[in-house]
């Protein structure tokens, strides 16, 4: 899909010209000059975020992110940005990011705050955190410098469709790996589930990443976990004797490819409505996962634990409490899971207990309610890794995934 990018004429110049014409004066619109610093904003690559922009008279570049919308809902979301500035080497640019008036669960909310940060890269591969300023009116301002002719900016270190392809190529011929296409996305992209380990192992864990397109942390964690279990070190061998891992490394592939923020391309939130069967046409990504789950459950091999990976500004382990019997025993197991996360990874953010008796429709809650699987949501803090005292990075998230190996090992050892 071609994305529309254009530089708006200064609204004030237009208003002045229209007012002059209305007053019967003859006036030509003011002749505008191109910016001497910014040549273009390129979003014509996979995971590039759709946006509009203009350059103010003082040279400030105003970026307007585009929202994606939920079907039959007031909800809308814009929180992902990933674009390439093309400009004059050696010069500096002031940017303002706009359109963070998100609607989440029916309420106005913002995906950014005083804690927000941004990442920059000259080659789109090596990223560093850059400070941003939170402005009144829910906007972010940052100053960047062109060391060369181009500079990428992104909300977080991107993990795109190409990164996933490289991972799948790296592992597909390894022993104990099976990559299964379980269905297709709205746009027909193949949806993979990766098995690592022996399907006859006594325990099974399901990990899903990237239901929400703007949240790359889960994909990095999934990659670190898969690589860790395939490293053939002593820990990996011990883990694979105890459990088998199933991973959906990227649930919302269309959204990731399009640089969208949250919903699938037909406006479904892939972390909602799990308290009922998924609609195969509107949410084929969820339908495919549920069909796979029903198949494996029919063989008596359903996973006993499921972790749905996300990013947010709090970074907590979210534990739903849907209306089922024995919910307190489940909550106790989730508290144990939290202690294991603290023991084997840099996780320090704590637990969020959802209200008692509420069927929230998240994947974690739906698996508890409908399949008796210990499901939960792990949010990864998008602004700060408290346990490391640093900004999040692909490396920190891969390391977290590696640590999950032992979290699962001890979790199943206690059962």
Q: Which residues bind Zn ion (CB under 5 A)?
A: 212, 215, 310
d(Cα 300, Cα 318) in Å, to the nearest integer? 27
Pick 84 or 349: Cβ nearer Zn ion = 349
d(Cα 351, Cα 334) in Å, to the nearest integer? 9
- Min separation Cβ 229 and Zn ion, Å: 24
- Min separation Cβ 57 and Zn ion, Å: 39
Pick 64 or 104: Cβ nearer Zn ion = 104
- Min separation Cβ 270 and Zn ion, Å: 9
- Min separation Cβ 378 and Zn ion, Å: 10
Would you give the DSSP letter of residue 277?
P
Pick 204 or 310: Cβ nearer Zn ion = 310
Radius of gyration of the chain (CA): 23
d(Cα 129, Cα 95) in Å, to the nearest integer? 16
d(Cα 390, Cα 399) in Å, to the nearest integer? 14
Pick 215 or 290: Cβ nearer Zn ion = 215
DSSP 157-169: ----HHHHHHHHH
Pick 98 or 252: Cβ nearer Zn ion = 252
Burial of 377 (0-12, 13-18, 19+ CB in 10 A): buried
Closest listed residue to residue 40, CA positions, set 8, 72, 87: 87
d(Cα 197, Cα 63) in Å, to the nearest integer? 46
Would you give the DSSP letter of residue 326?
T
- Min separation Cβ 349 and Zn ion, Å: 15
Pick 212 or 370: Cβ nearer Zn ion = 212
- Min separation Cβ 208 and Zn ion, Å: 11
Would you give the DSSP letter of residue 385?
B
Q: How far is CA 375 from CA 306, 342, 408, in A?
A: 4, 18, 13
**In this chain, which residue has its C-beta nearest to Zn ion?**
310
- Min separation Cβ 215 and Zn ion, Å: 5
- Min separation Cβ 364 and Zn ion, Å: 12
Which residue has 């007031």 as its token pair?
74
Would you say 85 and 52 are in contact if contact means Cβ atoms under 8 Å apart?
no
Pick 68 or 215: Cβ nearer Zn ion = 215
Pick 203 or 272: Cβ nearer Zn ion = 272
Which residue has 């708006």 as its token pair?
8
Helix (H) or strand (E) holding 366: helix 363-371
d(Cα 239, Cα 230) in Å, to the nearest integer? 10
């Amino acid at each position: 899909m071609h994305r529309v990018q254009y530089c708006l004429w200064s609204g004030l110049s237009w208003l002045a010209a229209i007012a002059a014409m209305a007053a019967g004066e003859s006036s030509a619109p003011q002749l505008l000059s191109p910016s001497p610093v910014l040549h273009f904003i390129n979003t014509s690559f996979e995971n590039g975020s759709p946006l509009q922009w203009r350059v103010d008279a003082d040279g400030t570049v105003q970026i307007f992110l585009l929202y994606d919308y939920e079907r039959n809902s007031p909800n809308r979301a814009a929180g992902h940005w990933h674009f390439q500035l093309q400009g004059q080497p050696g010069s500096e640019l002031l940017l303002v990011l706009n359109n963070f008036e998100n609607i989440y669960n029916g309420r106005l909310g913002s995906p950014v705050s005083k804690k927000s940060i941004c990442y920059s890269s000259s080659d789109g591969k090596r990223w560093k955190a850059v400070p941003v300023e939170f402005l009144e009116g829910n906007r972010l301002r940052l100053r960047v410098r062109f060391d060369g002719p181009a500079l990428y900016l992104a909300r977080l270190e991107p993990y795109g469709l190409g990164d996933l392809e490289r991972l799948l190529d790296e592992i597909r011929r390894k022993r104990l790996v099976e990559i299964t296409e379980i269905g297709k996305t709205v746009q027909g992209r193949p949806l993979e589930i990766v098995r690592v380990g022996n399907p006859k192992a006594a325990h099974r864990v399901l990990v899903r990443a990237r239901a929400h397109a703007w949240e790359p942390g889960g994909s990095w964690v999934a990659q670190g976990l898969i690589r860790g279990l395939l490293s053939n070190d002593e820990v990996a061998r011990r883990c694979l004797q105890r459990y088998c891992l199933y991973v959906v490394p990227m649930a919302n592939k269309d959204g990731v490819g399009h640089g969208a923020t949250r919903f699938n391309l037909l406006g479904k939130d892939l972390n909602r409505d799990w308290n009922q069967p998924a609609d195969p046409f509107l949410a084929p990504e969820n339908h495919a996962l549920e069909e796979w789950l029903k198949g494996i459950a029919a063989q008596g091999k359903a996973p006993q634990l499921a972790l749905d990976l996300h990013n947010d500004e709090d970074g907590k382990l979210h534990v739903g409490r849907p209306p089922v019997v024995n919910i307190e025993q489940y909550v106790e197991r989730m508290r144990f899971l939290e202690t294991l996360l603290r023991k084997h990874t840099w996780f320090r953010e704590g637990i969020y207990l959802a209200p008692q008796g509420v069927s929230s429709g998240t994947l974690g809650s739906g698996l508890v309610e409908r399949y008796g699987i210990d499901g939960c949501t792990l949010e990864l803090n998008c602004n700060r890794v408290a346990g490391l005292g640093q900004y999040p990075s692909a490396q920190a998230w891969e390391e977290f995934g590696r640590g999950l190996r032992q979290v699962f090992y001890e979790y199943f050892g206690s059962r």
